[in-house]
Amino acid sequence: METKDLHKYWKEVQDYFEITEESGRNLFDYILQPYQESGRHYHTLNHVYSLLLLIDKQELSADNRITLIITAFFHDIVYITGSSENETSSSDFMNNCFINQEITHPVVTAAAKIILDTQNHNSKDPLSQLFLDMDLSILGTDEKTYETYSKQVRQEFINTPFLLYRIGRKSFIKSTLERSSIFYTKYFVDNYEEQAIKNLKNELNIL
């Protein structure tokens, strides 16, 4: 994945809101910076790109597509391991970016709400549910990809003693498995649910 691969999606946002080329490029560069911080191993630009690729697979209206693209770019822009404020801070960060461009729009409001929903991965809104499924899709990937993901998450918590990390990680896995379904939408239930359950149980067994 290269910057140009991400920029083509950002260009859609730029054109949608009629942001000038210079302002759009400056904002794009500004957004990329936090994802490239040294302490990030999973919540990186590769994660953003994987979400953008999943967006391409969905049948969406123009407004909904832009909403999800914006959400993908901003949802983890503030990421401090162990913080309960990441989602609120990311939503605020996004809102400030568009306010600085003098843009207020229902699409931006919708994206802000979805970002907040990622805190507990719980929503009754269909578009939010779709993004939440995409955000958790890593759980239902092949075993090797999942193993890489779990190691990357541990690296992000490298300063947390393993015993405490183990408690937190097991709590996340158990609560996810206790849900009636990990995913909301038919696409992700059909294509990711079975493997996600298998991956989570495998990790739980070795923690």
> Measured between alpha carbons, how far is residue 14 from residues 17, 22, 123, 198 in Å?
6, 10, 28, 40
Q: Which 3 state secondary structure label does DSSP give 94?
A: helix
Per the CB < 8 A criterion, the answer to whether 9 and 52 are in contact is: yes
Q: Does residue 89 sit in the same domain as residue 157?
A: no
How many domains does the chain contain in total? 2
3-state helix, strand, coil in the chain (%, to 5): 70, 0, 30
Across 169-197, average pLDDT: 97
Domain of 181? 136-207
User: Are residues 45 and 5 in contact, defined by beta-carbon separation less than 8 angstroms?
Assistant: no
Q: In the structure encoding, which two tokens stand for residue 13, read together?
A: 């946002």
pLDDT recorded at residue 88: 98
CA dihedral 132, 135, 136, 138 (to 10 degrees): 160
Domain shared by 19 and 99, yes or no: yes
Mean pLDDT of 172-200: 97
Residue 81 lies in a domain: yes
Average pLDDT over residues 165-191: 96
| Section 99-111 average pLDDT | 96
- Please check whether residues 145 and 121 belong to one and the same domain: no
Nearest to 81 by CA among 8, 204, 165: 165
Q: Please report, for residues 14, 53, 105, 164, the alpha-carbon distance to residue 134 in angstroms, rounded to integers and kept in the order given.
A: 23, 10, 24, 28
Whole-number Å distance between alpha carbons of 142 and 109: 35
Task: Give me the residue label for tokens 């759009």.
Answer: 24
Residue 175 located in a structural domain? yes
State the pLDDT at residue 104.
94
SS3 of 82, please?
coil
Mean of pLDDT over the chain? 97
Of 88, 35, 3, nearest to 11 by C-alpha is: 3
- pLDDT at position 55 is 98
Reported confidence tier of residue 2, pLDDT bands at 50, 70, 90? confident
Q: Do the Cβ atoms of 177 and 63 come closer than 8 Å?
A: no
pLDDT in tens, 52-87: 999 999 999 999 999 999 999 999 999 999 899 999
Which of 98, 125, 152 is the last residue in one of the domains? 125
- Going by pLDDT thresholds of 50, 70 and 90, the confidence category of residue 189 is very high
Whether residue 176 is predicted with pLDDT greater than 90 in this model: the reply is: yes
Residues 73, 108: contact at Cβ < 8 Å? no
Range 131-138 average pLDDT: 98
**Over residues 165-185, mean pLDDT:** 96
Choose the final residue of a domain: 62, 94, 125: 125
Q: What are the residues whose beta carbons fall under 8 Å from the beta carbon of 45, sequence distance 6 or more?
A: 1, 6, 32, 35, 36
Q: What percent of the chain has pLDDT over 70?
A: 100
pLDDT band, very low/low/confident/very high, at 1 (cuts 50, 70, 90): confident
What pLDDT shows up at residue 50?
98
Average pLDDT rounded to a whole number, residues 155-159: 96
Position 168: which residue type?
G
Last residue of a domain, one of 74, 99, 125: 125
C-alpha closest to that of 81 among 168, 5, 163: 168
- Is 148 in a helix, a strand, or coil? helix
